[in-house]
Amino acid sequence: MTARLPRITLVSTGGTISAVGRDRLDLSRYGDTNRHRELCALLDEIPELAAVAEIHPEVRPALPSHGMGLADLLDLGRLVRRLTGEPNIAGVVVTYGTNTLEETAFFMDLVCPPGKPVVVTGAMRPASGLSADGPLNLLNAVRLAASPGARGRGVLVLLDDTIHAARDATKAATNRVAAFRGGEVGPLGFVESDGTVVFHHRLERWPAQGAFDPSSLTGLPRVDVVVSYLGADGAMVEASVRAGAAGIVSAGTGAGYPTPAERAALERAAEAGVVVCQASRVAAGRVTPRPEAVPHGFVTCGNLNPWKTRLLLALALTHSRDPARIQPLFDR
């Protein structure tokens, strides 16, 4: 008797991995064609999957990832959380466009309790392209989702044989196949050329991982990101407040420093009840609490980038608007 293969649900949402360009050398403007290969056609190109797992497709509308809205994100989060709760499913793989993959993977990490593996993958070259990377990425994502070592690690990102934690994964190049990085943490491990899954980091949890249940949420509060630059005034902060933002993420310079004019506007926003979270526009490093920020009730993001900070703050605001209760969710 042979052992039964693990059952992996494959959630397809579109993106470069299924995109079809004008010809095999259309590796950059393929999105203009608005053409995609059906999931069944993609799976037919990877017969090796049959030796790894029992695949059960879950097809979603094909959307560019930069066209996804918060309602789409909530819907996807609910779906993946529900799938991980089904007893006959060993893991979930989500194919997604790389433009906002880091944000969506992070959001799913916040709403899916760590347990069964959830792996997000995509491609940097379209399905029609010369040396398309999507087929191997998909095969390796299934290998990872079927691996016992992936259990309990939360949502993982897999591209170019490399495993990243959803919390740390970020797109660091526009078109390169090795576009994703794991920040200061680096990759958690790799899927080797023979299919072996190897982890180099121990399993580690953080407070916000799986902390939110999206099933009862009808929407998310508005949270805006205001990016600082030399000579920036408070106009963007004030516009955000007028637009009804419940929270503002300040992507400050250096270790989290907005300009003096932005700082004054952020303090006025906090006094008006808007929760302000201080982040940095710098690619690596922590934003640490400063004593002078405490009277104004600012939250600090730790080492999360502004885009992920926005999503965590939005979810946190569905529970509380007290900065003292929100801050522990950002602490690692």
Alpha carbons 73 and 92: distance in angstroms, whole number: 16
**Residues 6 or more apart whose Cβ sits within 8 Å of residue 109:** 118, 154, 155, 166, 167, 209, 210
CA distance 110 to 231: 35
Report the alpha-carbon distance of residue 218 to residue 71 in Å, rounded. 8
Q: How many CA atoms lie within 13 A of 88 on its CB side?
A: 4
Decide: residue 116, CB within 10 A, 0-12 exposed, 13-18 middle, 19+ buried: buried
Which residue among the candidates 2, 9, 13, 16 is catalytic per the annotation? Answer: 16
55 beta partners: 8
Distances (CA, A) of 229 to 171, 242, 285, 298: 22, 21, 18, 20
The residues with which 93 forms a beta bridge, in sequence order, are: 10, 119
Whether 16 is a known active-site residue: answer yes
Report the C-alpha gap between 289 and 283 in whole angstroms.
18
**How many Cβ atoms from other residues are within 10 Å of residue 324's Cβ?**
10
Return the SS3 of 234: coil
Rg of the Cα atoms in the chain: 20
DSSP string for 27-40:
-SSGGGG--B--HH
The residues, ordered by sequence, that sit 6+ positions from 323 with a Cβ below 8 Å of its Cβ are 275, 297, 298, 299
Q: Is 5 helix (H, G, I), strand (E, B) or coil?
A: coil
Got the DSSP string for 104-128? HHHHHHHHS-SSS-EEEE--SS-TT
Residues taking part in catalysis = 16
